[in-house]
Amino acid sequence: MGFSDEQIRDMLELKEELTEKIIKYKEQIEKLEKNISVLDTILKQSSFTKASDLTRNAPKTIKQERKIAITKSSDGTTIANAFVTNDEVSIILEDNVTLDPDTPPLKTFFVDRIIGEMKKKDIEQVESGVIKKDDIINCVINDNGGRIREIIIKNYRQEERVDEIINTATWSLTRMTENSA
């Protein structure tokens, strides 16, 4: 089966056209992929949040400050009061409660383990662009001459965390009063 010179020339032209189209489409695909990459970077930097995460991670609105008594489980004595606002939990010890900030298990359990794990999760969310660096949970212990006055947890962000913070603070403070006795 032989082809004429004209048919071979037509096939060569067709091959050249197809090759040019492939090159053209490859360039367009590369350009589109670069644009998608740039958009991904911009979205991550602008703390883009998937719609599915908005409802799950959105803090529930707290209308006003709530006061929650922190009591010893053994006798019901109030050791402190937790004041919960939209962005922080402030635990203020009763005047008659004297606890040293270095008494276990405040730092080892409450600060390092509980708040530390929450902070670790927040850092992961910062790295994946879900939250901003300013939204990472933070714990500050205000003391007066070796005596805790107040424990402030800022940026708890999720209502579920409030319960964990209050429960573990209650446990820690109770253990501290027992260890100080």
Domain boundaries, the chain: 5-46, 66-180
Tell me the pTM: 0.61
With vertex at residue 122, the alpha carbon angle to CA 162 and CA 52, rounded to the nearest 5 degrees, is 85
Tell me the residue type at 15: K
Per the prediction, the chain carries an average pLDDT of: 83
| pLDDT beyond 60 at 173 | yes
Pick from 30-34, 113-117, 174-178: least confident? 30-34
Could you report the per-residue pLDDT of 60-92, keeping only the tens digit for each? 444 467 888 888 877 888 999 999 998 899 999
Could you report the per-residue pLDDT of 146-164, keeping only the tens digit for each? 888 899 999 988 888 999 9
Instruction: For residue 23, count CB atoms less than 10 angstroms from its CB and return exposed for 0-12, middle for 13-18, buried for 19 or more.
Output: exposed
Q: How confident is the model at residue 55 (pLDDT cuts 50, 70, 90)?
A: very low
pLDDT score for 46: 59
